[in-house]
Amino acid sequence: MTTIARVETFLVAPRWLFVRVETASGIVGWGEATCEGRSETVRTAVEQLSEVLVGRDALRIEDHWQVMTKGSFYRGGPILASAVAGLDQALWDIAGKHFGAPVHQLLGGPVRDRIRVYGWVGGDEPAEVRDHIAAAVESGLTAVKMNASGRMSSVASVAELDAVVRRVAAAREVLGEDRDVAVDFHGRFSLANARRVAPLLEPYRPFFLEEPVVPENSHLIGEFVRSTSTPVSTGERLYNRQEFLPVLQAGIAVAQPDLSHAGGITEVRKIAALAEVYDAQLAPHCPLGPIALAACLQVGFATTNYLIQEQSIGIHYNLGAEVLDYCLDKTPLTFVDGYVERLTGPGLGIEIDEHAVRTADKRGHAWRSPTWRHLDGSYAEW
């Protein structure tokens, strides 16, 4: 019996929301519905959505996705999309376990046997950037991502612009010609600043320039794309194909949906297909937990236009728990020489330590996004 019998949620450190779906026959599927700083709200949304799932066949994944996303008058947004994402991942996990196959096999089979991964590095000064990147390289990574800056004025000074360039130059110095650095504008730049700094970074050959404008200004991203020869990426705060369409039409090179924000495996596969029409690559956003990472990788092993995978193992804000702490076997998500090998276990391909999850949920967490302003007083991305 694959009838859904129970849906549970777990708020666990450092800032994640796990979803557990169990069938009448005892098959358990796990998903991750984390929405950083809003996970308690998403938890309520998952509980409401479970009303349309319990008592129904877990294998009707597409049908459930349609009902959850389109079955009510008010649609869309990060809260609903994150709740749907966690449940969708769990249903795919159940399907894989039911059929005894990894999810990527159910998506059409593997198109690759390993996926390149990258990690985020910090550092406000060039010397700090060098040290952090050297540590990342020592860990085996062949690609990193760094923030372009901290707080910026709406119209940056020469000193602010030069500071961005010096930090990226320091990164390239350590990485050499055989490794990559992506530069994340993180929605912190005005369009004017983004257009000014992009040509200055071109000599350092960034892998891509991420989120040059905030998502509500996606109508401006085409102007930025035309201002630089460097590939442009965005998408961690876009939640469906309809929101990705205009930025793809504007010429982005890399789409970055988040498997825990953009409707899960079901929707991200469709975003990947849409991106392929525009000759764009997929590089899912994933500074989250092990379930989200496994879901990303399952999509990646079955998707041709898959560039690289973000992961947050060892990242500075994983306080109270690390990515692999909730896994019974850490081996599947371990990277070697900058790559993760194809996951071969059934479902999402990882085994969750349920005891550790339930224990962590008793402690919970109350992680919140920091709030701060640009140097001129206007509100900014954190």
Residue matched to tokens 């089979």:
109
The closest of 346, 287, 297, 285 to 322, measured between CA atoms, is: 287
Q: Is the pLDDT score of 378 beyond 70?
A: no
Q: Annotated catalytic, 285?
A: yes
State the average pLDDT for the chain.
94
Q: Please compute Rg for the chain using Cα positions.
A: 20
- pLDDT tier, 375 (very low <50, low <70, confident <90, very high otherwise): low
- pLDDT tier, 372 (very low <50, low <70, confident <90, very high otherwise): low
Q: Is the pLDDT score of 320 beyond 90?
A: no
| Active-site option among 64, 104, 132, 186 | 186
Using a pLDDT cut of 70, give the percent of the chain over it. Answer: 96
Q: Is the pLDDT score of 373 beyond 70?
A: no
Per-residue pLDDT at 367: 67
Please check whether residue 19 is in contact with residue 4, taking contact to mean a CB–CB distance below 8 angstroms.
Answer: no
- pLDDT tier, 1 (very low <50, low <70, confident <90, very high otherwise): confident
In the three-class reduction of DSSP (H, G, I as helix; E, B as strand; rest coil), residue 84 is classed as: helix
Listed in sequence order, the residues at least 6 apart from 98 whose beta carbon sits closer than 8 Å to its beta carbon are 2, 27, 58, 59
Per-residue pLDDT at 364: 77
| Active-site option among 104, 261, 285, 365 | 285
What's the predicted TM-score (pTM) here? Answer: 0.95
Mean pLDDT of 17-40: 96
The closest of 44, 46, 51, 55 to 22, measured between CA atoms, is: 55
Q: Is the pLDDT score of 217 beyond 60?
A: yes
Per-residue pLDDT reduced to its tens digit, 70-112 = 999 999 999 999 999 999 999 999 999 999 999 999 999 999 9
Q: Is the pLDDT score of 16 beyond 90?
A: yes
Query: Could you tell me whether strands 28-32 and 232-234 are parallel, antiparallel, or unpaired per DSSP bridges?
Result: unpaired
In the three-class reduction of DSSP (H, G, I as helix; E, B as strand; rest coil), residue 75 is classed as: coil
